[in-house]
Amino acid sequence: MAVVEELLRAESDKTISFGNHSLAAKAKLEDYEHGGNLYKVKTFKELTKLEKNGMFAYESEPGTSVNHFEETENGLTFKVEGDEDAQITVGLEEDTAYTVYVNGANVGEMKTNLSGKLSISVELANVGEVEVKIVK
């Protein structure tokens, strides 16, 4: 997996890829249309943030590169890469329990807060690509 040079792109499997954790300076792309939705991404080595239709969708500290990000009725899946371990926050349904899987391993059930945010820590340093699946 590699950084997303164009900051945000549509994939052939109807998912999106975004973020570039190797950028030294902030970069952003706004009003990217995909699947009837408008996306905005801000990214660089310290932060990656994605908004969908003006609403929070994803944020990582430090910055990450995300591939094949897909939202479904039951949660979301994506592959993530970064130079350092990352704190990732995603926007889901509010006050709902989800089971989180990292590289296929169940890391437990977590509940979103009243704003629908769920935060997880992912070990990325010297690991390469990590698959994250969050299921209702």
Compute the chain's Rg from CA coordinates: 14
What's the Cα-to-Cα distance from 105 to each of 4, 19, 63, 124, rounded to whole Å?
A: 26, 25, 23, 15
pLDDT at 1 over 70: no
**How far out from the chain centre does Cα 12 lie?**
18
Stated pTM of the model: 0.95
How far is residue 57's CA from residue 25's CA, in Å, rounded to a whole number?
22
Percent of the chain with pLDDT over 90: 93
Tell me if the domain spanning 8-135 has CATH number 2.60.220. yes
How far is residue 1's CA from residue 39's CA, in Å, rounded to a whole number?
22
What's the pLDDT tens digit per position in 84-123?
Answer: 999 999 999 999 999 999 999 999 999 999 999 999 999 9
The closest alpha carbon to 120, from 83, 74, 80, belongs to 80
What's the pLDDT tens digit per position in 45-65?
Answer: 999 999 999 999 999 999 999
